[in-house]
Each structure stands twice: as C-alpha cells, then as structure tokens.
Amino acid sequence: MKKYVFKEFWLNLVLGVVLIVLAILASPLVFDWISEVVEYAVAAIIVFYAVMNFVRHRKKYTNRHASMILAGTLAVGILLAVLLIPPVGQIGVNLAIGLTLYVQGLSYLLIMQLTKQRSTFTTFVLYLVILTLGAYVMFGSPNFGDILKWVLVVLVLTYGIILLIAGILELPKKKK
C-alpha cells in the first residue's frame, strides 16, 4: 500500500481531493466527458494488441497465405481503432472490441487449417472461445462503453480516496 501513495502528506491530500473532484465531474451523471477517454483508450489497446500479435506470430508462420492473413488482421485492427476515434467515426466500443476478437479468433483458426499445423485441443478451443466471445460482444452483450466508463470513474475515485486517507493519517501532530 505504501508504494501507491506519496511520502509527502500534503501531496496525498491535494492529489486525493483533485482525483475525487475529477471522478465526480467525469462521471456519466455529471458531464460525461469520460466517454471520449474510454474510446481513445480502447482504440490504443486495439492497436497495441493487433501490432503485438502480428509481431509475435509473423516469424512463426512461413506460409505466404498465413502471412497475408496476419497482415489482414493487423489492418483490420488498425482500421477499427481509427473508426473508433470520435472525429473520424463512431462505430461503438462493443463493435470495435467484438470485431477485434472475432477477427483474431477467425484468423488463427484459418491459419491453423491452412498450415496443416497440429495444435493441441486446448489451443483450438481457446481460439474458438475468442471467436465466440467476439460475436457475443458485438451482438449480445450489454454496452461495454458504459461499463468501462463506470469502471474508470470508480477506479479514479477509489485511488483519490486512498490518497486522501493516507494524507490525513500522515498529518503532522501538533506539539504541546
């Protein structure tokens, strides 16, 4: 717990109050500007995920068709991230996350079939679960955007309260 708070009590107090006020003002009940932050964060995570999967699997498969599928998966990930950012397009967080998962699961199932690579049953089931989860997120799940907004507000509020309590507990005592 000590590594998440600062050594100066006044810094904990001030930052705790600022984070609490920021969480209240950013909540969907007050100003709701946190939704853009969530969309940018999800877009960044999608790009990071797509690039890391491409880099990790690029050298693993020597088949030309498998490389093309991996490049297509990377392109779809980047396109979804760009379409999620507010000025360009509004596809929604559910659609972006769901399509990312669906394309990742489908591409690896196709690659396993194309390369005739023997894989374990658990790997096959894992990619099938990713594919199914992507379809569920796209079509059947509650709005992930709203859930992520509230999770982010609660995390900022909780950290602000932790800092405020740590600052109050470390207040210097008056000497008599």
- Dump pLDDT digits (tens) for 46-61: 999 999 989 888 888 7
pLDDT band with cut points at 50, 70 and 90 for residue 147 = confident
Residue at 174 is within a domain:
no
Residue at 3 is within a domain:
no
Give the per-residue pLDDT at 3.
67
Give the per-residue pLDDT at 176.
52
Q: Using alpha carbons, list the distances in angstroms from residue 73 to 55, 64, 93, 107, 157.
A: 12, 14, 18, 7, 37
Contact 70, 57 (CB under 8 A): yes
Residue at 1 is within a domain:
no
Residue at 52 is within a domain:
yes
Q: How far apart are the first and last CA of the chain?
A: 31
Residue at 176 is within a domain:
no
Is the model's pLDDT at 152 over the cut of 80? yes
Q: What is the mean pLDDT of residues 91-117?
A: 87
What predicted TM-score, i.e. pTM, was given to this entire model?
0.71
Contact 85, 39 (CB under 8 A): yes
Q: E-strand spans in 6-155?
A: none
Tally of domains within the chain: 1
Residue at 172 is within a domain:
no
Residue at 173 is within a domain:
no
Give the per-residue pLDDT at 78.
93
Give the per-residue pLDDT at 174.
55
Domain housing 27? 8-167
Tens digits of per-residue pLDDT, 85-98? Answer: 877 767 888 888 88
Q: What is the mean pLDDT of residues 19-35?
A: 77
Q: Which residues, including other chains, have CB under 8 Å from residue 171's CB and lie 6 or more apart?
A: 9
Residue at 16 is within a domain:
yes
169 half-sphere exposure, CB direction, 13 A CA radius: 11
Distance of CA 91 to the CA centre of its chain: 16
Is the model's pLDDT at 131 over the cut of 60? yes
Q: Which residue has the higher pLDDT, 38 or 4?
A: 38
Name which of 12, 28, 23, 26 is nearest 155 in CA terms.
23
